[in-house]
Structure 1
Amino acid sequence: MEISCATPGASIYYTTDGTMPTSNSTAYNGAISLTSTTTIQAIAVKADMNDSAVAAVTFTRRSSSGGDISSVPGYDVSADKTENGAIAVSPQSASKGDTVTITATPDKGYTLESLTVLDKDGKALTLTDKGGGKYTFVMPAGKVMVKAVFMDDNTMLNFFTDVHAEDYYYDAVLWAAQKGITGGMSDTLFAPNAACIRAQIVTFLWRTAGSPEPKALSSFADVPADAYYAKAVAWAVENGITNGTTDTTFGPDETCTRAHGVTFLSRAAKANTAFGNSNFADVDANAYYASAVKWAVDNGITNGISSSLFGPDSSCTRAQIVTFLYRMYQGK
């Protein structure tokens, strides 16, 4: 077969393996010899000009006695412009009877509401859901148009109205809410920017561990037996995750600092054995939380508040603690 371009001085590049051609693909220098069914995709490239649209054609081997290669027309598979998501089709040109794959990828916080493939007469084609956002259809004789609609994913609205798709902690809070690890500060509010207190973090850890029954309730004077965090505190103490603020008090309402947070998590993970200096100027190598900070940074659970400071005494917000938990357990 031969390929030509009407633009003088343009170079032609092509592929035969189904990938999109670029200026790094095989340069066309003359007739191409084909011995089997092949789809040729080609572009024309010239300096100071935009690359041409991709041209594609499928050559199908006939079973005639001569064994000739003859051209079978390839029809365009076009995707309509979409918002809040992306549609990819492969191949972008196909012959009648070919299988075409559509991949639908919604933006964060959105979900695929509908997907339709229309033939040249506006008739909807049958789609097969392959899972993972992939769908296939059989190419008809003629061009087709793919149309998709992406809508808000309202899953979070079943939990909290103050956590939005663009928030860095969205996935973490959704994970925690779905698994019953955390509740909100009210029926509809998570309060992501509120300071996390000691009672909350041990409760989050306890629930993440499956809410195991402690051997006995603690004897802390400020932890009533009927408190929502009573079993969590007892479990945390039994497992060496944390102690009280004194011999007789736990301090359930005291704010959890960043140093406390990474220390509790590393002890719960039984991983507070990191060695070496974390290189933060405000983390003394002899600090009780030094190895926990190193472990947290090494495992991508949290970084410092700057390139040189960890901020061990800064308050941890509810969003931050849940995000730390999410990264810790999702990384397994």
Structure 2
Amino acid sequence: MNAVVELKSDGSLTVDENSKLTASGNKDKDGKPVDKIDINGGTLDNKGAITGEIVTTAPAGSHTVKVVVNGQVIDIQTVTNNSPFTLPAAPAGGNFQGWYDGTTVHAAGATVTITADVTFTASWYTSGGGGGGGSSSYSISVDKNIDNGSVTVSPKSASSGRTVTITVKADEGYELDELTVTDKNGDEIELTDKGDGRYTFKMPRSKVTIEASFVEIDHQDTCPAADFRDVDEDAWYHEAVDYALDNGLMSGVSDREFAPGSTLTRAMVAQMLYSLEGKPAAGSADFADVAEGAWYADAISWAAGEGIVSGYGDTFGPNDPITREQLAAILYRYAQNEGYKTSQSGKGTEGYLDASSISSYAVKAMDWAVNAGLLSGKGNNTLAPTAGATRAEVAQIFMNFCKDIAK
């Protein structure tokens, strides 16, 4: 059975936080006062009987969402904070533009995240002619001849002063070159870059046209280390890292990290020299800890066969950190093997406080490396011969070696 709650002039209709509907201040059919009428577990289907504002109070952590069409509240819901709310389909009547929340016009059926009390009001498109009874809405058109990317706009028409959002997405290997919005007179409208490919503008009192162009990314204008977030553009080793990457001597530890401060291993240094030599044919590594098929096996086999590296007896220690004196000795032997000049004038390691701590096998190599400008002090007038060499330091040393020694 359907029931009608008729409110008298002094009556009231209340919806509490538990969605309980209460009508009060009424009389029964005999004219006797009725304190209140409780309607529990039902829904309010407003067919226009209630023309005033319906006030609700949402519980803590929730928000009240109203939907209004032509001044009538057609739906009220309590939505938990940061929860999605799906807008209704377009109401009947034609010329429906969207659901306006006071800032943005949303399409029918769109999902909106609710973060505050909000009222969505049906917005209707009007031509702007006399007697329209509403603000004019102007068309927003996007050039259909856009290649190598896409441009979308929301809303697709808007009244003057409304904020319009443009979303730009370039195809892989391309980037946005130019984005323009012009009014009916061809005058350009100012855009605000919101980041992540989103731009906004204020709608003028005319239709607008959006045009965009995309260009292929020129990787020659981008330094090889640009993709690594841990290589500062102003770092002392930036040029050396670029050189090592560009010449295939080194690669990152991941797609986004180079790890300039990490220590290089003995296997990595052998691999760098192997790459510098053009990766020639190599025999089998004669070390117990160098497994056949390991990524560094060919490099160590070649370097050991040429007398450039040596091991610790029957082991090589491929994962041991390379020390500064080991690196100097390896480069010294490689330079001799290639016939490069290995006699430079200078004091070498003389005068450094820790020169006496250099291993006997590396003394001549350290003198050469210091005189050649490959190694320098580590502060406090020390060379730190047994300290590990970082990836940034090795990149710098190899760049200096290639430019100054391997001529």
TM-score (norm 2): 0.41
Give the match for residue 254 of structure 2: 186
Give the match for residue 287 of structure 1: 360
Question: Is 2:374–2:401's contact at 8 Å kept on the other side of the alignment?
Answer: yes
Give the match for residue 268 of structure 1: 334
Q: 1:323 to 1:277 in 2, by over 3 A?
A: closer
- Report Cα offsets for 1:258-294 as digits up to 9, x if no partner: 1111111111111555686521232238721111111
| Structure 2 counterpart of 1:234, one-letter code | S
Matched, 1:238 2:305: yes
Q: Tell me, what secondary structure is at the counterpart of 1:269?
A: helix
Give the match for residue 305 of structure 1: 378
| Structure 2 counterpart of 1:224, one-letter code | A
5+ residue gaps, structure 1: 1-152
Give the match for residue 141 of structure 2: none
Give the match for residue 277 of structure 2: 209
Q: 1:230 to 1:164 in 2, by over 3 A?
A: same
- Report Cα offsets for 1:82-138 as digits up to 9, x if no partner: xxxxxxxxxxxxxxxxxxxxxxxxxxxxxxxxxxxxxxxxxxxxxxxxxxxxxxxxx
- Report Cα offsets for 1:115-164 as digits up to 9, x if no partner: xxxxxxxxxxxxxxxxxxxxxxxxxxxxxxxxxxxxxx632356533212
Give the match for residue 26 of structure 1: none
Give the match for residue 27 of structure 1: none
Partners of 1:229 and 1:205 lie apart in 2 by 11
Matched residue pairs, number? 180
Corresponding residue to 1:259 among 325, 345, 353: 325
| Structure 2 counterpart of 1:156, one-letter code | P
Partners of 1:286 and 1:259 lie apart in 2 by 8
Matched, 1:200 2:268: yes
Partners of 2:342 and 2:379 lie apart in 1 by 23
5+ residue gaps, structure 2: 1-220
| Structure 1 counterpart of 2:300, one-letter code | V
Question: Is 1:272–1:291's contact at 8 Å kept on the other side of the alignment?
Answer: no
Give runs of aligned pairs for residues 139-218 of structure 1, distance below 5 A. Answer: 154-157=222-225, 159-214=227-282, 216-218=283-285
Greater Cα shift, 161-170 or 226-235 = 161-170
| Structure 2 counterpart of 1:240, one-letter code | G
Give the match for residue 317 of structure 1: 390
Give the match for residue 100 of structure 1: none
Partners of 1:286 and 1:254 lie apart in 2 by 17
Give the match for residue 193 of structure 2: none
Q: Which has the higher strand share?
A: 2
How far is the alpha carbon of 1:254 from its aligned partner?
Answer: 0.5
Q: Tell me, what secondary structure is at the counterpart of 2:320?
A: coil
Partners of 1:286 and 1:274 lie apart in 2 by 20
Give the match for residue 121 of structure 1: none
| Structure 1 counterpart of 2:354, one-letter code | D
Matched, 1:228 2:301: no
How far is the alpha carbon of 1:227 from its aligned partner?
Answer: 1.2
TM-score (norm 1): 0.50
Partners of 1:204 and 1:173 lie apart in 2 by 13
| Structure 1 counterpart of 2:316, one-letter code | F
| Structure 2 counterpart of 1:209, one-letter code | E
Partners of 2:348 and 2:258 lie apart in 1 by 35
